[in-house]
Amino acid sequence: MTKTVMLIEDELFVALDVQDVVEEAGFAVEGPYVSVAEALEAVASHLPGCAILDVRLTDGEVFPAADVLRDAGVPIIFHSGHADATSLRDRYPQAVVCSKPCSPSALRAAVENVFAN
């Protein structure tokens, strides 16, 4: 499994913070992708080791990209303040949900756990 994390996030400062957390944990970041269209294009070209997804993006909700990632077996970490955690867990039972605001240490632990398994 590649040690690359796909970042799908439309808020620049949040994306920069998440990127710092992931890179400090020793993983590469691809993105951020700010729209569903960009995310789907990136996923079509190659699959990452895992993906961190915000739910609301510039062109809608991330679920089309999340479905493709899930179906390809890519571990998903939802990092969002706009989604119901229970609904996300029902739809994506293998996903990790880190509701915003999420501490950097919790997000880092989620990424490290994905790559440890």
Query: Domain segments of the chain: what residues?
Result: 4-116
CA distances from 36 to 9, 62, 76, 84, 94 (A): 10, 6, 15, 19, 21
Cα–Cα dist 106/67, whole Å: 24
CATH of 4-116, one of 3.30.390.30, 3.30.70.3290, 3.30.450.30, 3.40.50.2300: 3.40.50.2300
Burial class (CB in 10 A: 0-12, 13-18, 19+), 91: middle
**Residues in the chain with pLDDT values less than 50:** none
Residue 83 confidence (pLDDT): 80
Residue 29 confidence (pLDDT): 97
| Mean pLDDT of the residues in the chain | 94
Angle between helices 12-24 and 104-116 (to 10 degrees): 50
Residue 2 confidence (pLDDT): 63
Residue 81 confidence (pLDDT): 86
Residue 100 confidence (pLDDT): 86
Residue 84 confidence (pLDDT): 86
